[in-house]
Chain A
């Protein structure tokens, strides 16, 4: 796997908010077909990383390549290149209907037939959205809003799907459902990069993982190895160090 060119390659990324240096030189690779997670505590810079990849915050320094080509620094161009983000806190358009939210996700797609296919696919993944397609997004439950946020991100037919804390504020049983669908989305050819505080769930789903701390990458490796790593266990998985 490591001999291939990565789908997404991040080299020496720096991001600051004024005097606060949120990301201080990060390298990260995501290969075609993978699920990769970035775990770390609150404030480690995980969300900033996501926003920097999609061009929602300004990158101070660093090289980002998508499939070998430079990734645009503005989000509308990055989306057109094939990256899309389901942001932290879901950020569905509450006053719009579920269907309108999904159509917003399809904004860069020109062909109507393609939009129809993607819509059918999203409705197969999340049948609840189909049942509620004429409802205002603000009336959905938290889990349904997360499904809508992911579905909306899929409507632009991304090659790389970015997920920012998909489990945030959801009941464990709903998290399990959503992670099951993420596996299915990945099986159908969408590469996934997710950041999570819920480290165990994220590592169980992923092929590989990165551990992030105060703007730097602390560790990287196969998800199965990270799950067994005593330091990761103690710091992020909440079990005692053996």
Chain B
């Protein structure tokens, strides 16, 4: 059956209904990202009991609590580190990390690059809304140049990170990006990431409408989500000078997929060899 029919997927089967409605602001893209994740989980037939969702701190960090699975709301910037321990101890679990642009690239940047390098079988969703929403709208590593935030009252003077290029350079064996506007496509990228054995980094272009959108006069929620398409195709607007930084020329879809040994598998293979050696000794 095709996406239009989405035969048996009911997002409510994967939500903690007693927690709903969730506490995200009206129009926040994180809800759409969460649906896309749960949709992918459903299509892959992943058992809720064996699904672990590890989140950091911030708006993205609060997303996990709504998932009817094993959910962990950890410390700021550290979900990848928590997930590393969890996955190594429990390779039978599907471990998904939900993090934000600040959580993942600023305070947690070190963990990101090492998770990419280590290539443990984790799927990391970085919900990029270009701002620290929870704390009131401060500048983040992905805030576009000249944007107004509560800590860049005269416009952001710092360049922005291209998280996907960072992950690629750090060796992530799967890198993808999609906008929440294209929920089915986003679902497909997440699905591919979940199915990939190794570290999968997926940047989800989300929207902070209530704080960032208002501060920068980006329109209401519908306008913001509609503009995601033009952001993804800035060449149509002739603006390519600041590449690779947002909002210029961001490519979507699966950007990188490479065959690298998965760390957990390699570790277990070596451990097994060690144990065999120990047994062989008289």
Whether chains A and B associate is no
Interface residues of B, Cβ cutoff 8 Å to A: none
